[in-house]
Amino acid sequence: MKLISSPASPFVRKVRVLLLETDQAADVEEVVIATTPFQTDTGLKAANPLGKIPALIRDDGPAIYDSRVICRYLDDRAKAGLYPEARLWDVLTLEATADGIIEGTLATVYENRFRDEGMRMQSWMDAQWDKAARALDAVNDRWMSHLNGPVDMAQIAIACALGYADFRVPDRNWRQGRDALAAWYAEFEKRPSMQATIPA
């Protein structure tokens, strides 16, 4: 199998962490590409018509995407139990929340990176971060018992979202007022799978 990826992508990082946690990294070749919303890599478009990473090219079927689909597929392949049936809806909700945090962060990054300076809207960027901040508050206030439980895909996704916020918008200081979440992340990020996938 081949994983179309970019080393800085938090969505790719979710997959890479899962691969390490489930001892499948040797089964997947990473194909690192350079792509932007304006110039999509041709190989990526062939695998995913939406032009988004990651995409997983399988040996026995068509390519699959997005990160949530890929993670479910790889977890099922390894029978790893990162989507436990007893907590499935909580895991899926937290994974969706993590992806929303990433999307809010990514929107602010794209605004700065791809819009001409005179066209950037600070109010729009603030609104995108506000979505992420509300999600972070919800995790800190309502979901810590889950995060402190057995490792599943929810923890991996949340940790990758927090790592991306540190990487791209450190000035937003997501830890402020979220002591429980910050303490949890300080421990979770020590996992070898997280250390091996720090974005660069």
Q: For the residues 53-59, what does the mean pLDDT come to?
A: 95
Mark whether 34 and 91 lie in a shared domain.
Answer: no
Q: Which of 126, 141, 136, 187 is nearest to 158 (CA)?
A: 136
What region, left, alpha or beta, does residue 167 occupy, with left being phi > 0 and alpha being psi -120 to 50 degrees? alpha
| 200 found inside a domain | no
Answer with the one of 78, 110, 129 that is the final residue of a domain: 78
Mark whether 47 and 129 lie in a shared domain.
Answer: no
Mark whether 42 and 66 lie in a shared domain.
Answer: yes
Mark whether 94 and 44 lie in a shared domain.
Answer: no
Instruction: Give the containing element (helix H, strand E) for 31.
Output: strand 29-32
At 156, the amino acid letter reads: I
Mark whether 182 and 141 lie in a shared domain.
Answer: yes
- The two beta strands, 29-32 and 2-5, are parallel
Answer with the one of 46, 78, 110 that is the final residue of a domain: 78
Answer with the one of 62, 78, 94 that is the final residue of a domain: 78
Q: What pLDDT does 35 receive?
A: 79
What separation in angstroms does the CA of 14 have from each of 54, 104, 175, 192? Answer: 10, 17, 21, 14
The pair of structure tokens assigned to 113 is 């990176």
Mark whether 89 and 170 lie in a shared domain.
Answer: yes
Are the beta carbons of 4 and 55 closer than 8 angstroms?
yes
d(CA 104, CA 129): 5
Are the beta carbons of 161 and 101 closer than 8 angstroms?
yes
CATH assignment at residue 145: 1.20.1050.10
Q: For the residues 64-70, what does the mean pLDDT come to?
A: 97
pLDDT tens digits for range 108-135: 887 777 777 777 788 888 888 999 999 9
CATH assignment at residue 56: 3.40.30.10
Mark whether 90 and 71 lie in a shared domain.
Answer: no
| 115 found inside a domain | yes
Mark whether 30 and 89 lie in a shared domain.
Answer: no
SS3 content of the chain, % helix, strand, coil (to 5): 60, 5, 30
pTM: 0.94
Mark whether 41 and 118 lie in a shared domain.
Answer: no
Q: For the residues 168-192, what does the mean pLDDT come to?
A: 97
Q: pLDDT grade, residue 45 (50/70/90)?
A: confident
Task: Give the total number of structural domains in the chain.
Answer: 2
Are the beta carbons of 14 and 160 closer than 8 angstroms?
yes
Q: For the residues 19-33, what does the mean pLDDT come to?
A: 96
| 174 found inside a domain | yes
| 170 found inside a domain | yes
Q: What pLDDT does 110 receive?
A: 78
Mark whether 117 and 162 lie in a shared domain.
Answer: yes
Q: For the residues 63-91, what does the mean pLDDT come to?
A: 97
Range of the domain at 36: 2-78
Mark whether 16 and 112 lie in a shared domain.
Answer: no
d(CA 63, CA 173): 37
Mark whether 112 and 63 lie in a shared domain.
Answer: no
